[in-house]
Structure 1
Amino acid sequence: MRIQRALKRLITLFGLAIGIGVPAQSAQAWDHPGHMTTAAIAFAEIERVRPDLIDKIGLLMLKHPDPAPFWVAAGDGKGKERTRRMFIEAARWADDAKFTGHDRPTWHTARWTIIADDAPPEAKALIEARGDKPLGNALEALRLNATIIANPESKPEERALALSWMMHIMGDIHQPLHVSDLVSKDFPSGNAAGTLAYVWDPLRDSAMPLHLLWDSNTRRSTKLEDVDGYAQEIMEQYPRSSLPELAAFEGPEDFEKWARESHQVAVDWAYDIEAIPDPNLDADSDRVIANMMKYILEGISPVDEAPAVPDEYWEKLQEVAPRRMALAGYRIADIILSAADRLDAERTLSGKVLDAMQRHGPTN
């Protein structure tokens, strides 16, 4: 029962850690720069294949039910650039909407447990009893939102919201530590997908959670010019033709397959690294949450020292992480293009939006 209660507690803590995100001055990346980069890749791909969709996507973004972040992101951009900026905001919007009525903390992960050989027998029994069902609702949410995007009866507001969530969740499921947890002797209740396992940040003089090492890698800037540079670099390194995993989008049944690709990376080597547990692992939840918030908001780690990231591990992460980001970006484009094809058969991607704009004018 003790381990069962601890597992429930760590699930809550993990939801807090992933749900809040980390400020740019500390270690945030996959949930801001990373998501923005996948969106930039997707936008370039959509523009290459269907440039006629760009204006329609721009009109759709104007109908988002939480418009303020999109107006801020658009800035002084005009025409295609304005649409591109709003499209990039769409991928990170789920993190910008934290603590609002749009927040869905369980939608960011689908975590299958990895059981180490030295895991306590009681923990093994509990996890095995749970079966193969992951923790977190990312896959269910992805199916829901992809369906809304392609549904000709969806309202513009619904489609814009669903597009934002689809783009964000697609980025998340391509990050190996968003689809895995490790249970071991050091982490008998789980390491909360690496958020409670600390390593030394190769780029900053500080310890950081392993999860955030994967989130951040080396791409940590949210400046548009940097995001564009990241996207261009990744597309040159990993063009579509270099990725045998890419295939025609078959529908929502592909989502679990893509998440399991990421999970396999976690199984094969993502947790094959020495890490120190959060020293408050066995403390009461309030203490753990307080320390986690201090790291999230101020970048102050609860540990003073942590094992260094081996050069081989760091180099491999720099190879695999951008590859996963490339796959996410191309697949986001494929989902949108598939939805456009379906809607074109009945009307157009933004037919209802155009009608609404004519009747009511643009949203201000």
Structure 2
Amino acid sequence: MLKSMMSIVAGATAFGVGPAMAWDHPSHMITAAIAFEEIERMRPDLMERIGLMLMRHPDPAPFWVAASGAKTSKERARRMFIEGARWPDDSKGTNNDRLSWHSARFPIIADDASQETKDFVASRDGDPVGDALEVLELQVAVMANPEAGADERSLALSWFLHVLGDIHQPMHVTDYFSAEYPTGNGAGALSYVWDPMQESATTMHILWDSNSLRSTALEDIDRHAADFVEAYPRESFPQLASDGSQPDFRSWALEAHQIAIDFVYGEGLEFVKDPDSDMDAEKLVGKMVNYVLFGISPLEEAPEVPAEYWESMQDHAHSQITLAGYRIADVIVAAADKLLVEKTLTGQILESMDNVQSRATQ
């Protein structure tokens, strides 16, 4: 019972509401802002289409609120596009919530892990836990499908914007197994460090989700997006040499997983487990709910994050946020081109059929 409850707690903490988000809102919003500018640079003709499509989102209220105050159609489209990237987190606890869609977690196994744990991990046959990779494939297919309605494509775009960002966050693609964490550390949600910015204990998952970006004000989002593009230009990512017509989501997730191997767990960062994690399951869940909903940490102290590690972590996080933005733009442009070809081909076929039918009736 406790093992199953721990899995529930890990999932709730890693992907629940309150302070625990998939990246945090600012990171997703910055990624979308970067992607929007890239799409406009490559294909300005898509801007109006994107705006009109997002106006058809099946959960329209957040998008209309986000677009309020915009003075131009481009700015309305941009604000709705940015809202689309955070919308799946804003929808937590509603009928639109899809808990398993936010991660594709590959294992890291510490040397002290038991054979039972190693056998447990091996039973996955190399497959990650979580549906993010399959979800991305589905959303791209919907976006490029001429038979999909504008509302379906708008919903697919929101999930694509969000989940592609998620798989660039190392904690969303990693579970850590050891003697202390025989069933995994819940994507870092059961491992605590001291948050340098909040002066409180926080989970490694939330630390990476939030990194140093804590403001959702549009002026801050725009400033960070411009700074990141300058610091991490396209040419600094050799993996962007190929276009987005054949995205390899698994490889992209494994890139972030490698950061977890080499840096997150490979640099000797100290972290601790909640000392009461073996307590009665109901009380444990209560503690974690207080943390998720109200930010009340179960721990009063935790190991400090060294200054060098914190600085290097920002470089990794901000680089990944920027890379995700470029990739989002590339895949959306490729999907739009495919959609245009499919619609043109379908139109030609229908026109030919009409001509044949017309001649047959003459």
Three-state SS of the structure 1 residue aligned to 2:93 is: coil
Equivalent runs, 1:52-201 vs 2, <5 Å: 52-78=45-71, 79-201=73-195
| Aligned-residue offset at 1:271 | 2.0
CA-to-aligned-CA distance 1:56-97 (integer Å, 9 cap, x gap): 100000110010111111121131111111000000000011
Report the counterpart of residue 314 of structure 1 in structure 2.
310
Asked if the contact 1:184/1:190 (under 8 Å) is kept, the reply is yes
| Runs of 5+ consecutive residues of structure 2 not aligned to the other structure | 348-362
State percent identity of aligned pairs: 54
| Aligned-residue offset at 1:125 | 1.4
Three-state SS of the structure 1 residue aligned to 2:81 is: helix
- Within the candidate set 276, 289, 294, 1:298 is matched to 294
- Within the candidate set 246, 259, 264, 2:240 is matched to 246
Structure 1 letter corresponding to 2:324 = A
| Runs of 5+ consecutive residues of structure 1 not aligned to the other structure | 352-364
Q: Distance in 2 between matches of 1:304 and 1:158?
A: 46
- Within the candidate set 35, 38, 42, 2:35 is matched to 42
Structure with higher Rg: it is 2
TM-score norm. by structure 1 comes to 0.90
Q: Distance in 2 between matches of 1:219 and 1:194?
A: 19
TM-score norm. by structure 2 comes to 0.90
Three-state SS of the structure 1 residue aligned to 2:122 is: helix
Three-state SS of the structure 1 residue aligned to 2:216 is: coil
- The answer to whether residue 254 in structure 2 is matched with residue 267 in structure 1 is no
| Aligned-residue offset at 1:14 | 2.4
CA-to-aligned-CA distance 1:108-150 (integer Å, 9 cap, x gap): 0000111100112211111112220111111111111111011
Asked if the contact 1:199/1:275 (under 8 Å) is kept, the reply is yes
Q: Let me know the Cα RMSD of the aligned residues.
A: 1.8
Asked if the contact 1:280/1:287 (under 8 Å) is kept, the reply is no
Asked if the contact 1:33/1:222 (under 8 Å) is kept, the reply is yes
Structure 1 letter corresponding to 2:27 = G
Q: Distance in 2 between matches of 1:252 and 1:101?
A: 31
Question: Would the alpha carbon gap of residues 29 and 136 (structure 1) be closer, same or farther in structure 2, given more than 3 Å must change?
Answer: closer
Q: Distance in 1 between matches of 2:147 and 2:246?
A: 18
Question: Would the alpha carbon gap of residues 28 and 151 (structure 1) be closer, same or farther in structure 2, given more than 3 Å must change?
Answer: closer
| Aligned-residue offset at 1:251 | 4.5
| Aligned-residue offset at 1:334 | 0.7
| Aligned-residue offset at 1:346 | 3.4
Asked if the contact 2:103/2:130 (under 8 Å) is kept, the reply is yes
| Aligned-residue offset at 1:7 | 5.2
Question: Would the alpha carbon gap of residues 28 and 220 (structure 1) be closer, same or farther in structure 2, given more than 3 Å must change?
Answer: farther
Structure 1 letter corresponding to 2:36 = F
- The answer to whether residue 23 in structure 2 is matched with residue 30 in structure 1 is yes
| Aligned-residue offset at 1:313 | 1.3
Question: Would the alpha carbon gap of residues 145 and 29 (structure 1) be closer, same or farther in structure 2, given more than 3 Å must change?
Answer: closer
CA-to-aligned-CA distance 1:133-192 (integer Å, 9 cap, x gap): 111111111111111011111111110000000010001000001000101122122111
Question: Would the alpha carbon gap of residues 8 and 128 (structure 1) be closer, same or farther in structure 2, given more than 3 Å must change?
Answer: farther
Structure 2 letter corresponding to 1:116 = A
What is the aligned residue count? 342
| Aligned-residue offset at 1:299 | 1.5
Question: Would the alpha carbon gap of residues 275 and 54 (structure 1) be closer, same or farther in structure 2, given more than 3 Å must change?
Answer: same
Asked if the contact 1:174/1:324 (under 8 Å) is kept, the reply is yes
Structure 2 letter corresponding to 1:70 = F
| Aligned-residue offset at 1:267 | 1.1
Report the counterpart of residue 225 of structure 2 in structure 1.
231
Question: Would the alpha carbon gap of residues 271 and 60 (structure 1) be closer, same or farther in structure 2, given more than 3 Å must change?
Answer: same
Three-state SS of the structure 2 residue aligned to 1:245 is: helix
